[in-house]
Chain A
Amino acid sequence: MLPPRVSPSGTFGPFGGRYVAETLVPALDELTSAFHTIVFSEVFQTELRELLASYVGRPTPLTRAHRFARWLDPEAHFLHRLYLKREDLCHTGAHKINNALGQALLAKKMGKTRIIAETGAGQHGVATATACALFDLPCFVYMGAEDIRRQAPNVGRMKLLGAQVIPVTSGSSTLKDAMNEALRDWVTNVRTTHYCIGSTAGPHPYPELVATLQSVIGEEARAQCLALGSLPDAVVACVGGGSNAMGIFRAFLDDPSVALYGVEAAGDGVASGHHAATLTAGRIGVLHGSKSYVLCDDGGQIQEAHSISAGLDYPGVGPEHAWLKDSGRAHYLNATDNEALVVLDKLGKTEGILAALETAHAYARLRDIARDLAEQRGHPVTLLVSHSGRGDKDLETLLTRLLPLLPEPTRAY
């Protein structure tokens, strides 16, 4: 586990902080102190490490993607090698379990008797439901009605795991509204309840806590790269709230030769106004307890985000990403719905790996990243991608949106 990056007052540069109702401040103080005394203790670390190995299936492998790399760059002019950090092979199918398991274990040790969570794609909801089943904690998951529709398999999984899924119909009926509802629950039940936030968003200490629990992704990947010979030229991840990206970035922050790229969801295109590219097109504001980039109008009203991918469909982003952007340490790009669908299809057919729609956004910018970086560095580059999750949950969307775009498969014997 890597040491904290957050300031003692809960900020990353000018971002972060704690913009919440007074009622919640003592709970956040309690969580911050538990985070420092419990999570960094030897006992907790040993227990979590054992669970990550025997239950989650860590370390996850690093896969070299030969055929997809050659689809991106047939002559290897700019892309030398491409490695995928396989978080899709975690139990429950995405990186979200690293965080949910850690927070559930922490909540148990804090004596909390009830867990709530918000979810977009349902991956964090499934991960939280899983951890709660394991630790015998009642679990309540808030999910936007629109997301319940488009991520139906995950809703079923949560229910089978014993969680209650509570539909949210306010606002855009997506992730931000689920988070509002979870905050309302937490204010009401704060003494007994732990709010298991699913990304590096929310008030201090959540962005730091979640990044710390996810930093296992980058720690493993960095060691795996070194074992294969060298650090990559760049690390690439999709960014919703930013947890898989922070999880893989953190281990490389002090490696100046490693460029960091986050890819946000551009929906129908940033110019269309229907997108979730917060760092690209947003402005600095306050949403869900922290100061960061947000999508909002001149009056400060939060705007609805749009993305084919429920897990990226969020008008905010974690404060550490805002700081990495403004300080220039990381770069943020974006990919449209259609660009994500095209690479998702190619990755499936060249590597036999069906990515989650969220994850696919990272792949959609690899060619541009490799080309620019190879030009800067004067040699073809090696890229490492955070393969954050698998696509099973997206079958419904893929069958309706992707299959009609594709030619009938015809293969003569």
Chain B
Amino acid sequence: MPTESRLSRIFASRRVLVAYLCVGDPSLDESLELARACVRAGADVLELGVPFSDPAADGPVIARAGARALARGGGLSATLRVASALRTESDVPLVLFGYYNPIYVRGEARAVDEAADAGIDAFLVVDLPLEEAGTLRRLAANRGLTVVPLLAPTSSPQRIEAVRLAHAEVPMDFVYYVSVTGITGAAGVQAADAGTKARTLREALGLPVVVGFGIDSQEKARAAGQQADGVVVGTALVRAIEEGQSAADRVERVSSLIALLRQGLDGT
């Protein structure tokens, strides 16, 4: 089963570029357009970010985007509507990315059903460490979805082993390695070192590992991608959207950033 998932297929085929969008920024309609633009420009996986009122793991760029998205009607339901729309036209893997409270308040079982119906492939919940994720992982597995675990520079060998055991119990598609001890948008990422770390983790876990946080240039995508299974672009994409002057300009900026990172990752 896991080998047939959209996510495992993409990881088997190439170095994966994951694009994070804060859904609802600058509007729900535009998020759909921007998601399409990411895929056209070479993104392999979309992380659809559910904006949250209290984004304690995010830096100012994504926090501002979240506030704008909430003001435009963003949230769990709106993100799932955007996912459904994407799924009718594309087979791109979709990761529902966010904080736990919106999922908890919806009811985990209901959230999983709605996500599955919307064509979501996996959950990534930033404030739900493995110890608290058991129920969501089992419910998700029943509908063919997975929960992506995060590992950080501070994670001990025991925690890495806990991920391996959890994967043996309820399979996962991939692991998200947080490249820096910090919040999203942190500067000073050592992309090559993070890539090396990702490879070590892949060898220990037998799972693809992507590097996230601070990947904002072709060089960093290339450096991390030499050893990691993929990279995630978040803050840089959200900043491009924030700086765009019009809908067309935002599509243009997002497309060229994705294309650049794609080139970095493919080593061209």
Contacts and interface: CB of A to CB of B under 8 A. Distances in A.
A20 B127 CA distance: 4
A300 B54 contact: no
Contacts of B106: 300
A22 B154 CA distance: 8
A13 interface: no
Nearest to A179: B56
A285 B104 contact: yes
Contacts of A298: 105
Contacts of B128: 19
Contact of B105 (A24, A177, A187, A296): A296
B181 A25 contact: no
Contacts of A289: 127
Contacts of B75: 299-301
Given A170-B63, A286-B100, A191 B154 contact: yes
B54 A180 contact: yes
B104 A23 contact: no
B57 interface: yes
Most buried by B among A20, A23, A298: A23
Contacts of A253: none
A22 B151 contact: yes
B105 A299 contact: yes
Interface string A232-255: 000000000000000000000000
A24 B126 CA distance: 11
Contacts of B172: none
Interface in A1-46: 9, 17-27, 29
B159 A184 contact: no
A348 interface: no
B129 interface: yes
B101 A296 contact: yes
A176 interface: yes
Contacts of A285: 101, 104-105
A187 B181 contact: yes
A287 interface: yes
A160 B70 CA distance: 39
Contacts of A156: none
Q: Is the interface of A mostly helix, strand, loop or mixed?
A: mixed
A187 B102 contact: no
A23 B152 contact: yes
Interface residues of B, number: 41
Nearest to B100: A286
A299 B102 contact: yes
B55 interface: yes
A190 interface: yes
B104 A184 contact: no
Most buried by A among B103, B150, B183: B183
Given A18-B131, A20-B127, A180 B102 contact: no
A19 B132 contact: yes
A285 B104 CA distance: 7
Contacts, number: 121
Interface in B74-131: 75-77, 100-106, 126-129, 131
A183 B159 contact: no
Interface in A164-181: 170-171, 176-177, 179-180
A108 interface: no
A346 interface: no
B180 to A, nearest CB: 8
Most buried by A among B102, B153, B154: B154
B186 A188 contact: yes
B52 interface: yes
A380 to B, nearest CB: 44
A287 B105 contact: no
Contacts of B58: 184
Contacts of A29: 156
Nearest to A189: B181
B200 interface: no
B132 A21 contact: no
Interface string A281-310: 001111111010010101111110000000
A23 B153 contact: yes
Contact of B56 (A18, A184, A191): A184
B56 to A, nearest CB: 4
Nearest to B55: A180
Given A299-B77, A302-B54, A187 B183 contact: yes
Contacts of B57: 21, 183-184, 187
B190 interface: no
B132 A300 contact: no
Contacts of A23: 152-154, 178, 181-182
Contacts of B183: 184, 187-188
Most buried by A among B53, B58, B132: B53
B159 A191 contact: no
Interface string B43-85: 0000000001111111100010001001000011100000000
Contacts of A299: 75-77, 102, 105
B178 A22 contact: yes
B155 interface: yes
Contacts of A284: 104
27 contacts: A19-B132, A21-B56, A21-B126, A21-B129, A22-B129, A22-B151, A22-B159, A23-B152, A23-B153, A23-B154, A24-B154, A26-B155, A180-B54, A183-B57, A190-B181, A286-B101, A286-B104, A286-B127, A287-B54, A287-B101, A288-B54, A288-B56, A291-B104, A300-B106, A301-B52, A301-B102, A302-B101
